[in-house]
Structure 1
Amino acid sequence: MIRESYPAVRRRTTGSGAAWAVLVSLLACPAMAQEEPPDLPYTAEVAPLDDSGLRATAEAVAQTIRLRERAPTDAFGLIGRVRADLPRLMEALRAEGFWGGSVAATIAGLQPDDPGLPALLQRATEPVPVVLTLTPGPRYLIGRIAIAAEPEAAAGPVREAAAASGLAEGDPARAEAVLSAETAIRDALRRSGHPLAAVAGREVWVDHDRRAMDIAWRFAPGPRATFAAPEVTGQVRTHAGLLQRTAARQIEGRDYSPAALERARRALVALGVFESVRAEPASALTPDNRLPVTFHVSERPLRAIGGTVSYETNYGLGISAFWEHRNLFGGAERLRLEAEAARLSESSFGNATYRAFATLTLPEIWRYDARLTARVGAVRELLEAYDREAILVSALAERRLSERLALQGGPLYETGRIGRYGVLEDFSLLGFVAGLRWDDTTSLLDPTSGVRAAVTATPYWSIQDGSTFTRLLAVGSTYLDVTGDARGVLALRGALGATVGATRDQITLDKRFYSGGGGSVRGYTFQSIGPRDAGNRPLGGASLMEFAVEWRQRISGPWGAVAFVDAGSVGEDSYPGSGDFRVGVGLGMRYLTAIGPIRVDVGVPLNPERGDPAYALYVGIGQAF
């Protein structure tokens, strides 16, 4: 067995005497000092590899190839490049498991150390051919693997973590695989509660007779630890107590794990006041085996403004704008003022829909781990289904039960006038929202995998006549990364709605279910699916059922395309599916930006009713669902 060793590369330096001799020669021959040798054009190739992957690696490593056009050189520089590439290419072969391979090179058919080569190159009138020849030989395999603990008493955790290495005897003896296995074992130790786990030693032997690489590791897991009370630094306007409580809820007193540390970091990010949050665990434990952690934060600007523009062929332009203060009183309170004008057609702005809201979000409720969102606003809507002028007030509390699951609940109040065909009647509703929300998707605006679902139940009481009813709604979507690289995604969406305690005609007009439009069944007019009156205007329903299937394909760069099928049903009865289904199909384009994809969809109704358009165009930001 031969044990490979690699001497350290030593850089030769010119002594002071040599430097003085060079300086004297340059002073004696100023013309020589100013004259630069001419550049030498050359070609370069790797031969005779058939393995395209190994060839690409060699071409990426060899500076003779990489610098050929970017950094022209002279005859002596070319010889130096080729000589320097030989050990680089040898290391590249070994890194891929070819420990018995060899590397050679020729310049104009001669070896790089041929004494006649410099003179030949100086006389060259055509580009000089350079050939780098790699002979990989057989690929070596992983031989014996030994994993030990330091100290030996820690053998149990190390033995369990070794199962995560992913390396086995008979695998190709690639350097990357060895280092990845080492990292996997260390990370497994850290996930099991050992924050100071480290590699205490590594020995690698290459046996050319067996064509095998033997590996011996020693891992020092260190003691198991729990998190100490965290510290937060870098805040300027935000109360330190809030930040410490936010991070402590996620980690203090709990067993160490990288996942818990990341949850605490995300909890600070979710406050919305920081540009960046970085977690820095201490390099040593406290005497009681607790791990101190410091979070370094950098605050965002206090205020922000923004807006969106959308368009539908049926109703025209929609414009919204907002102003936001992200840290109103120093406790990460967010105040958002927003206004929207929709259905802006060329005929009349008087038939447009207008909304204005003020929203205050508090990250804590009396230092309790629950977020409160209080909202007040006014709406004026002139829709095909109803006309409404109303004031809306709500207060919604949200408590996260886990990183993905949240519980919501809170009261709401609406008062104003609502009716049809311009005849409006007073109404006042008091309700209470209760629901669960799940979200483990990869992105808010452009998810490629995961599930997003919400279930809500909202009982209402009419102050005018004392009637009651409960609105139930379940909405879910899932995203499947079919191609494995997020370039081809299958998106599925479903919605079920029902009303309990009242018939369709007893339900307030805006609390009925409607379907159709860019957010539900594309190709149909907004709210048009379902029962209609004698004037062909939608009446809404007591139940809802919707399905959507969409294929999202990245094409090139930021461009993408989608194909979709949407279907929806609104029924007069209270059970979903009691109405007729309407189906729309279409195609769309996507342009990916930093704030989400710009969406352009064209939908066509397959079974339209009287008055439905032949097609509908939708433009907006973010995916359809």
Structure 2
Amino acid sequence: MTLRAYPRARKRTIAPGAVLAGTLCGAWMLAAGAARGQEAEPTAEPGLPYSAEVSPEGAESLAATAAAVAQTIRLRDSAPTDAFGLIVRVRADLPRLMEVLRAEGHWGGSVAATIAGRPPDDPALPGLLAAAREPVPVRFTLTPGPQYRIGRVEAAAEPAEAAPALRAAMPSAGIAEGDPARAATVLDAEGAIIGALRRAAHPLATVAGREVWVDHDRRTLDIAWRIAPGPRARFATPEVVGQQRVDDGLLARTAARRMEGQDYSPATLERGRRALMALGVFESVRAEPGTALTPDGRLPVTFRVSERPRRALGASIAYETNYGAAVSVYWEHRNLFGGAERLRLEAEAARLGSSGLDNSTYRAFATLTTPEIWRQDARLTVRMGAVRERLEAYDRDAVLASALAERSLSDRLAVQAGPLYETGRIGRYGDLEDFSLFGFVTGLRWDDTESPLDPTRGIRAAVTATPFYSIRDGTTFTRLYASGSTYLDLTGDARGVLALRAALGATVGATRDDITLDKRFYSGGGGSVRGYTYQSIGPRDAGNRPLGGASLLELGAEWRQRISGPWGAVAFVEAGSVGEDSFPGSGDLRVGVGAGLRYLTAIGPIRVDVGVPLNPQRGDPAYALYVGIGQAF
């Protein structure tokens, strides 16, 4: 339906419904199609050559949109035509270009066109074009006139009893008298009203009607909506379809816990969808809300799922100048017993430097994660493994086991607790002694970032308290650790992000020398303070090897800047302190600075960083190079 406004009439009613949508789509969807290189007609043989241009008088900002909408311009090279076809194209473009003007609020504007200097309805034009020997010039002239403003805005509820719900939703419209009378402004406003009603538990809210009047004397656009909020509703028991090998009961419980019986809202619907995705067994999960309520006034929802391959194999590699390469491989089964149980087998070889394989570090672990504990909404992660570590701070050969239960209190907050056990031999300079430790982890975790590998906004924070008991000598101590990072999108388009990080650690109940070597705090290296050797910050012994500490303080700031395409760069400053006392910050503060490059991939950014220590200790290198996948924090 074409939108019409008549200058001679003081007011003209514009047909409701499709008019503004057509105006908007005519101007912008065609432009989007042109930007993607879409063609409306197939390529033909060469026809009448012509040139075409758009001249928006007094509104140059409309030139690009108008040129994208005008098929005379878009199809000039891809679909040549003859004289009659050219005339048809130009005539068809006149209402399209009027839609461009009106979409931007120029309701009193006009559009004219000439072909070889003549109007397109000139009866002599076909013969003139047939005799043309040079490319025919086509010119569109847009005369926008003044931009109209929003006038009166009204909304009526259907039925009238729903007026309180509509009244509560209207402030979200974001439209007011005096705003530019753009089509997008009106459509966005009514979309915001419907969105507010749906967030207020009205899932079937719709626009029952829209009437718009253009007043050319006042140069305003008056709007009257009829909105049908529909009844308030709660979620019915959701249904999951499309699964092949995953237990139906698990899926029903997972979705129902987040939704069943709760007031309808898009956010709650998304929580149910994300809970199914978090099981790790699905490639995609699509939510399909019902279009009608059940007899008891509830909204049915169907989740349509598509399963991932059950098995996966992967590998990664990292590099640090001080110690060389680190290589890890893993194999996992994502649905071991049919209940989304994930078994992951992984192995790592690190510090593969010039000192030989005997001084390298090796780790191997098996991890089983189940999404429920006795059908309760808590995830259990059982991990067992062995390590052989040859580090500057200590040597350790040990077997480890842990069982950690985690329950989500919300989409962002989770609580965790569980025992751990570690036994083996640990020491320094090759003198290893037997040890056995039993601990119990308790903690809280918060995460509202949008990406695990490359966040651009949000906060991550974790706090853990782990009491330890030494089975061999009866020593007890508690290790406290808190870390957090925040990401600030300062440019508003995720191209410039300021990332900040802090970590605090303290050990209570024992002195530094009573704490098992691997449970002391260390700092330095990738992920803590770049530029310094791994674990090198803090007190050292007579052989200049790290002793670790009873407390930790780390601070970091990184500016992440997208350059072009997948390429980006970072600049960072980081600082760390390891103290003999239990109070964080009691040790000397070491500072490192540096810069790096990023190459964005589907699995996260590949990073290359160079860090330089500003106040190194004896034996520290002049710089350190780091290569890996994912941001530093």
Please give the range of the TM-score, normalised by the shorter of the 2 chains: over 0.9
TM superposition shift of 1:109: 1.3
Cα distance per residue 1:383-420 (max 9 Å; x no partner): 00000000000000001011100001100000000000
Give the whole-Å Cα distance in 2 for the aligned partners of 1:6 and 1:548. 59
Letter in 1 for 2:281: V
2:56·2:62 contact (CA, 8 Å) conserved in 1? no
Give the alignment partner of residue 591 of structure 1, picking from 599, 609, 617: 599
Which of 38, 62, 79 is 1:71 aligned to? 79
Partner deviation per Cα, 1:143-180 (whole Å, 9 max, x = no partner): 11110111101100001101110111111111111111
State the TM-score, normalized to the length of structure 1.
0.94
**Alignment partner, residue 192 of structure 2:** 184
Secondary structure of 2:214's counterpart equals strand
1:120, CA displacement in angstroms? 2.6
Residue matched to 1:466:
474
Q: For 1:133, which of 141, 154, 159 is the aligned residue? A: 141
Q: 1:287 to 1:478 in 2, by over 3 A?
A: same
Alignment partner of 2:459: what SS? strand
* 2:354 maps to 1:334: no
Q: Counterparts in 2 of 1:359-378, with a 5 A limit?
A: 359-378=367-386
Q: Deviations over 1:338-376 (max 9, x none)?
A: 000011124411211100000000000001110000000
Paired residues of 1:321 and 1:340 also in contact (CA < 8 A): yes
Counterpart residue number, 2:3: none
> What secondary structure, in the 3-state scheme, does the structure 2 residue paired with 1:529 have?
coil
> Which range moves more in the overlay, 527-536 or 280-289?
280-289
Q: Is residue 287 from structure 1 mapped to residue 295 from structure 2 by the alignment?
A: yes
Q: 1:5 to 1:161 in 2, by over 3 A?
A: closer
SS of equivalent to 2:64: helix
Query: Partner amino acid for 1:233?
Result: V
Q: What's 1:2 paired with?
A: 11
Aligned partner of residue 436 in structure 1, secondary structure? strand
Tell me by how many angstroms 1:607 deviates.
Answer: 0.7
Distance 2:119 2:135 in 1: 17
Q: Deviations over 1:309-331 (max 9, x none)?
A: 10001100110010000000000
Q: In the aligned structure 1, how far is the partner of 2:579 from the partner of 2:132?
A: 87
- Structure 1 residues 52 and 375: CA distance shift in structure 2, 3 A: farther
The separation in 2 between residues aligned to 1:52 and 1:384, in whole angstroms, is 67
Quick check: 1:484 aligned with 2:475? no
Give the 5 Å matches for 1:221-620: 221-620=229-628
Change (3 A) 1:419 1:621: same
**Secondary structure, in 3 states, of the residue corresponding to 1:596?**
coil
Give the distance between the partners of 1:88 and 1:576, measured in 2 at CA. Answer: 68
Alpha-carbon RMSD: 1.4
Instruction: State how far apart, in whole Å, the 1-side matches of 2:15 and 2:151 are.
Output: 20
**Code of the aligned partner of 1:87:** P
Please name the residue that 1:16 is paired with: none
What letter is aligned with 2:607?
Answer: R
Is the alpha carbon distance of 1:38 and 1:488 closer, same or farther for their aligned partners in structure 2, counting shifts above 3 Å?
A: closer
> In 1, are the aligned partners of 2:56 and 2:144 still within 8 Å (CA)?
no
Take 2:628 and 2:51, find their aligned partners in 1: how far apart are those partners?
52
Match of 2:29 in 1: none
1:49–1:55: 8 Å Cα contact kept in structure 2?
Answer: no
CA shift at 1:81, angstroms?
1.4
Q: Structure 2 counterpart of 1:2, which letter?
A: K
Offset, 1:38: 5.0
Whether the 8 Å CA contact 1:37–1:74 is kept in 2: the answer is no
1:6 to 1:402, Cα distance in 2 relative to 1, 3 A = closer
Please tell me the residue identity of whatever aligns with 2:539: P
Residue 39 of structure 1, CA deviation: 1.9
C-alpha distance in structure 2 between counterparts of 1:265 and 1:519, whole Å: 33
CA contact (8 A) 2:606 2:627 kept: yes
The alpha-carbon distance between structure 1 residues 554 and 47, as it changes in their structure 2 partners (threshold 3 A), is same
Gap change, CA 1:231 and 1:48, over 3 Å in 2: closer
Q: How far apart are 1:114 and its partner, in Å?
A: 1.7
CA drift of 1:37 comes to: 8.1
Map of 1:199 onto structure 2: 207
**Deviation (angstroms), 1:122:** 2.7
TM-score (norm 2): 0.93
Show CA shifts across 1:40-60 (max 9, x none).
222221114343431222111
8 A Cα contact 2:150 2:179, kept in partner = yes
Aligned counterpart in structure 1 of residue 66 of structure 2, from 58, 69, 77: 58
- What are the Cα deviations for residues 467-508 of structure 1, in whole angstroms up to 9, with x where unaligned? 000000000000000000000000000000000001111100
Equivalent-residue separation in structure 1 for 2:261 and 2:45 (angstroms) = 70
User: In 1, distance between residues paired with 2:628 and 2:45?
Assistant: 61
- Tell me the secondary structure at the aligned position of residue 554 of structure 1: strand
Matches for 1:147-166 after TM superposition, within 5 Å:
147-166=155-174
Indicate conservation of the 8 Å contact 2:522/2:552, yes or no: yes
The one-letter code of the counterpart of 1:3 is: R
SS in 2 for 1:261: helix
1:255 alignment partner, SS class: coil
What is the CA distance between 1:549 and its match in structure 2?
Answer: 0.5
Deviates more, 1:282-291 or 1:67-76: 67-76
The answer on whether the counterparts of 2:105 and 2:182 sit within 8 Å (CA) in structure 1 is yes
- Counterpart Cα distance in 2 of 1:97 and 1:582: 60
How far does the alpha carbon of each residue in 1:503-553 deviate from its partner, in whole angstroms, 9 at most, with x for none?
111100000000000110000000000000111100000000000000000
The separation in 2 between residues aligned to 1:295 and 1:110, in whole angstroms, is 60
Provide the aligned length of Structure 1 versus Structure 2.
599
Alpha carbons 2:477, 2:508 under 8 Å: kept: yes
Paired residue for 2:150?
142
Supply the AA of the counterpart residue of 2:220: A
Query: Structure 1 pair 48/252, CA: closer, same or farther in 2 (3 Å)?
Result: closer
Q: Determine what percentage of the aligned residue pairs are the same residue.
A: 78
CA contact (8 A) 1:42 1:129 kept: yes
SS at match of 1:593: coil
Q: Which moved more, 1:378-387 or 1:345-354?
A: 345-354
Task: Extract unaligned runs of 5+ from structure 1.
Answer: 10-35
C-alpha distance in 1 between matches for 2:501 and 2:563: 23
Alignment partners' CA distance in 1, 2:133 and 2:480: 84
Cα distance between partner residues in 1 of 2:562 and 2:589: 31
Amino acid at match of 1:425: E
